[in-house]
Amino acid sequence: MSSIDETHDPRRTSWVASAQGHPEFPIQNLPLGVFSPPNGSPRGGVAIGDQIFDLQAGLEAGVFSGAAAAAAEAAAGAALNRLMALGGNPRIALRRRLSELLSADGAERRKVEPRAGQLLHNAADCTLHLPAAIGSFTDFFAGIHHARNGGMRRDPNNPLNPNYKYVPVAYHSRASSVRPSGVPIRRPSGQRKAAEDDAPIFGAAQKLDYELELAVWIGPGNELGQPIPIAEAGEHVFGLGLVNDWSARDVQGWESQPLGPFLAKNFGTTVSPWVITTDALAPFRIAQPPRPAGDPRPLSYLWDETDQETGAFDITLEAMLMTEGLRAKGLPPHRMSASNTTDLYWTLAQLIAHHTCGGCNLGPGDLFGTGTISGPTLEGYGSLMELSGDGQRQITLGSGETRTFLQDGDEVIFRAHCRKAGCVPIGFGECRARIA
């Protein structure tokens, strides 16, 4: 498990001026991603303030050696999969070397700062891509408040299915339609049937929704037929990001019986481009919140004391909405909700242990969505289905507009931050997309 070291020191600053007090990417963060500079090809990079450190340029300049060089070479191409496959030690070596190179007080500053024009690119001038080639995408249902809110429509007295507190519920989603932040989403079409109608109709979805989720990027993974034990599962988390699991609720309601979502989910998923490594998140690890009295203890293959003590994260999440009316009035995005990853019922290690317990293989660059992370009250609901009561409540925005579900031209923006006394806050960057 990643530990706290000199790279997390709150006294450490960077010679990259924009990194000082940066709300997302101070030197204590150093997230990894894939970008294209102007007129350049996709390559691996590291966010530092408003700049991107070019790993390929760093290799050409000879600023890496040993394990850090091997990691930089694995991360310098058009996808991070090779680095993800290497496990934690090379990734940590790369992080430590980058922190040393970018530190204002580092011994290497005089070697790299004069080469800033070669090594750094203005992030605003670059294009960000998916950080990895995604082999498989699994969407979990680990946000218990969201699960309960959805189940209330089915059975107010028993909103959770009987298996919910025993099984980390999930379904296999569509990796081919995952896109990076900023790529527009087209409103999907499908069959939908209102309760009062005799037969379904086909057409554009009317109840287009977002779902605020955490992205989990898988590291080394496992061979087919070889389960990952719960005590080792956390080591297979490479890093985290944000996922918008777009959902067509009217299509979903008709098609989901008996096998679950299909066209309601496969038309597009948006993921944030920067991967916040588990190493950067080490100071923000916390104990998994205790289960309510009377809830069953997880089965033995899902239970590890260390995971319960340190396997959760304290990450605040926000969902924002920008509309044509807000733009016309020069207003900022409207904050729809705020929640926290402590509202997840299962740890990430439990998700991995369950996913592989039957022998299913995970590979470097596979992606998990945690499921919608909603808080226990209306202010924390992570989807419009919850906020509007499936269309029964109008949500009034700062512009005076109202919404129950998304309209064309609406842009959904997710943000996440880690804050703790004595630590430098870090952010995830944005996960955003507009309905075309």
pLDDT of residue 1: 67
Is it the case that residue 423 has pLDDT exceeding 70?
yes
Is it the case that residue 187 has pLDDT exceeding 80?
yes
Per-residue pLDDT tens over the stretch 37-60? 999 999 999 999 999 999 999 999
pLDDT of residue 154: 83
Asked if residues 180 and 273 have their Cβ atoms less than 8 Å apart, the reply is: yes
- Count CB neighbours of 191 within 10 A: 15
CATH of the domain spanning 6-128, picked from 2.40.30.10, 2.30.30.230, 1.10.10.10, 1.10.1490.10: 2.30.30.230
Is it the case that residue 62 has pLDDT exceeding 90?
yes
pLDDT of residue 106: 85
Is it the case that residue 107 has pLDDT exceeding 70?
yes
Asked if residues 170 and 138 have their Cβ atoms less than 8 Å apart, the reply is: yes
pLDDT of residue 380: 98
**Mean pLDDT throughout 283-304?**
97
Binned at pLDDT 50, 70 and 90, residue 190 comes out as: very high
Residue ranges, comma separated, of all CATH 3.90.850.10 domains in the chain are 137-434
Per-residue pLDDT tens over the stretch 389-406? 999 999 999 999 999 999
Spatial CB neighbours of 80, under 8 Å, sequence gap ≥ 6: 32, 33, 34, 44, 131, 132, 238, 275, 365
Binned at pLDDT 50, 70 and 90, residue 192 comes out as: very high
Share of the chain above pLDDT 90, in %: 95
- If you average pLDDT over every residue of the chain, what do you get? 97
Binned at pLDDT 50, 70 and 90, residue 111 comes out as: confident
Token readout for 96 is 């430590």
Share of the chain above pLDDT 70, in %: 100
Asked if residues 287 and 310 have their Cβ atoms less than 8 Å apart, the reply is: yes
Q: Does residue 236 carry a catalytic annotation?
A: no
CATH of the domain spanning 137-434, picked from 3.30.930.10, 3.40.50.12160, 3.90.850.10, 3.40.50.300: 3.90.850.10
Q: At what angle do helices 66-75 and 88-102 cross, to 10 degrees?
A: 100
**Mean pLDDT throughout 67-73?**
98
Is it the case that residue 141 has pLDDT exceeding 90?
yes
Helices assigned H by DSSP within 311-435: 324-328, 348-356, 384-387
Asked if residues 237 and 216 have their Cβ atoms less than 8 Å apart, the reply is: yes
- Radius of gyration for the chain, computed over Cα atoms and rounded to the nearest angstrom: 22
Task: Report the distance separating Cα 328 and Cα 400, nearest Å.
Answer: 12
Binned at pLDDT 50, 70 and 90, residue 257 comes out as: confident
> Which of the residues 8, 145, 146, 334 is marked catalytic?
146
pLDDT of residue 153: 81
Task: Report the distance separating Cα 21 and Cα 24, nearest Å.
Answer: 9
Give the type of residue at 233: A
Residue 83 belongs to what H/E stretch? helix 81-85
pTM of the model: 0.97
pLDDT of residue 256: 92
Residue ranges, comma separated, of all CATH 2.30.30.230 domains in the chain are 6-128
Task: Report the distance separating Cα 123 and Cα 148, nearest Å.
Answer: 40
Asked if residues 239 and 31 have their Cβ atoms less than 8 Å apart, the reply is: yes
Asked if residues 109 and 43 have their Cβ atoms less than 8 Å apart, the reply is: no
Is it the case that residue 2 has pLDDT exceeding 80?
no
**Mean pLDDT throughout 169-185?**
97
**Mean pLDDT throughout 371-386?**
98
